[in-house]
A and B are shown apart, each in its own frame.
Chain A
């Protein structure tokens, strides 16, 4: 029996706030459709959060850090995303680059100005739009056979987004940044990918 390829996983370091919902959904749908397992620090109690994040980074083959909302929140800078980026960069160095680190931002040069030490790290710009996010993800990754296209990823994103009210209800309502609905979105994206593949292959 042929040995199955180990499933690649990505640590997703993004802001968890309502204004980021579209891109959050875009990341989950896009990465899932490319065949990656998404690890995110959702529903982890504050006391054990740092340990859990380090474990997630170490368990992932690569990490994506979105610095587009590193800004003041209630007069206090949001340092969590750069902190997690620092942990991932250290892990990447420790593993001699086996752990790939990619940074995403809204505008060109913003991350280079706010966190100038990251100059030289793989940087991608999504302009705050799911379409540009999908294009950037497609540019970073190559699949066996190179099948998933940006229009397909976007169509799946829209399909899952249309179903969000029902998925939210199924998970008991409330925020999208919770473990249960995160898993549901992930599965919904795969169900959609499967349907699209069936249509494509007839």
Chain B
């Protein structure tokens, strides 16, 4: 299938804020959030992701159960 041509350029945040009816104050708050560095720990959590984190927990639980059975 042929790709769908998007003829418009990517809007600026200001253009989109106007289009959505979002105030400039809120956009400034969002800009400030996006420009603040994130702590390294938070980055690690994101990289792991919820699925990977729950998979790790499941593995730990399974190991503990196997250990308990052996004992």
Contact = CB atoms under 8 A, between A and B. Distances in A.
User: Do A and B share a complex?
Assistant: yes
Interface of A: 4-8, 22, 32-37, 62, 100, 122, 139-144, 148, 158-163, 165-167, 170, 183-184, 186-188, 190-195, 197
B1 A190 contact: no
Given A8-B6, A35-B6, A144-B6, A194 B30 contact: no
Contacts of B35: 195
B69 interface: no
Interface residues of B, number: 33
Given A161-B46, A162-B46, A167-B33, A144 B9 contact: yes
Nearest to A18: B50
Contacts of B3: 139-142
A100 B34 contact: no
Interface in B2-31: 3-13, 16-17, 19-20, 22, 26-27, 29-31
B33 A159 contact: no
Given A163-B38, A187-B22, A142 B13 contact: no
Interface string B36-52: 10100011001101100
Contacts of B22: 183-184, 187
B4 to A, nearest CB: 5
A163 B9 contact: no
Nearest to B42: A162
Contacts, number: 104
Nearest to B39: A162
A194 B9 contact: no
Interface of B: 1, 3-13, 16-17, 19-20, 22, 26-27, 29-31, 33-36, 38, 42-43, 46-47, 49-50
Contact of B6 (A141, A170, A191, A195): A141
A131 B11 CA distance: 23
A187 B38 contact: no
Contacts of B20: 183, 186-187
Contacts of A160: 34
17 contacts: A7-B8, A7-B11, A7-B19, A8-B6, A35-B10, A100-B4, A143-B9, A158-B47, A159-B34, A165-B42, A170-B29, A170-B33, A186-B16, A186-B20, A190-B12, A191-B13, A191-B30
Given A141-B4, A187-B17, A190-B11, 11 more contacts: A7-B19, A35-B9, A37-B19, A122-B1, A140-B4, A144-B9, A160-B34, A167-B30, A184-B30, A187-B26, A190-B12
B34 A8 contact: no
